Chain A
Amino acid sequence: SQKIEQNSEALNIQEGKTATLTCNYTNYSPAYLQWYRQDPGRGPVFLLLIRENEKEKRKERLKVTFDTTLKQSLFHITASQPADSATYLCALYSSASKIIFGSGTRLSIRP
């Protein structure tokens, strides 16, 4: 069956370090992948989109990679700050399916 897994429910790291979140998928051939941020009590907010023919995409301190061979996307936040603490969701679109969201990773950045 088709599945999306995000590496862990929660990730705690020290301020200033690089946070790396993982999104693995099986039985998909996604045309693109998106990352969203969700704060408590709020709706998800779009961060980055990466297409299947792109290896890497950057936006300020954020970087996303997409490896269609490994069926994995990595989401990096460099020079992390306490304000980066939130839940991060990956979402896949495949031409054969609807847009599917992962369950999210709750990131906590401690000062």
Chain B
Amino acid sequence: DAGVIQSPRHEVTEMGQEVTLRCKPISGHDYLFWYRQTMMRGLELLIYFNNNVPIDDSGMPEDRFSAKMPNASFSTLKIQPSEPRDSAVYFCASSISYTGNTIYFGEGSWLTVV
């Protein structure tokens, strides 16, 4: 398996623009997670899905952020409008289950909002 695949790897965008990050989880994994990593706040869980259904989005910073999982092999994280404080590395991860199993991370999407 190729692992969790994220795109784009790097994105530089201007403030106010819409940003869409994409993720393909590992086949057969029922859980998908979106994390954000910054120097100040470390790795934060934004939202996670179980069988394509959003379960906990309490980590989503505000209404500018939205996430979807239309099918088992694809998820998006959208920021509209983007702000400089959204600059971070966004990781998608997947797991067979939520408890007691390895979380497999993608390589991340490095977002810079100028």
Please give the residue numbers on chain A whose beta carbons come within 8 Å of chain B beta carbons, in ascending order. 31-32, 34, 41-46, 49, 51, 89, 91, 93, 98-104
Please give the residue numbers on chain B whose beta carbons come within 8 Å of chain A beta carbons, in ascending order. 4, 33, 35, 42-45, 48, 56, 59, 91, 93, 98-100, 102-108
Name the residue on A nearest B95 (C-beta): A99
Kindly provide the distance from the CB of B33 to the nearest chain A CB, expressed in whole angstroms. Answer: 8
Kindly provide the distance from the CB of B44 to the nearest chain A CB, expressed in whole angstroms. Answer: 8
Kindly provide the distance from the CB of A89 to the nearest chain B CB, expressed in whole angstroms. Answer: 7
Contacts of B45 in A (CB 8 A): 98-100
Contact of B99 among A45, A46, A89, A93 (CB under 8 A): A93
B107 touches A42 (CB 8 A): yes
Given A32-B100, A93-B99, is A43 in contact with B108 using a C-beta cutoff of 8 Å? yes
Name the residue on B nearest A100 (C-beta): B45
- Sorted from nearest, which 4 A-B pairs have the closest CB atoms? A43-B105, A103-B42, A101-B43, A46-B102
Contacts of B102 in A (CB 8 A): 34, 46, 49
B43 touches A44 (CB 8 A): yes
Complexed CA–CA distance, A34 and B43 (Å): 14
B106 touches A43 (CB 8 A): yes
Given A101-B42, A104-B42, is A49 in contact with B100 using a C-beta cutoff of 8 Å? yes
Seed contacts A43-B106, A46-B102; 19 additional CB < 8 Å A-B pairs: A31-B99, A32-B99, A41-B107, A43-B107, A44-B43, A44-B103, A45-B105, A46-B103, A49-B100, A49-B102, A93-B98, A93-B100, A98-B48, A100-B45, A101-B35, A101-B43, A101-B44, A103-B42, A104-B42
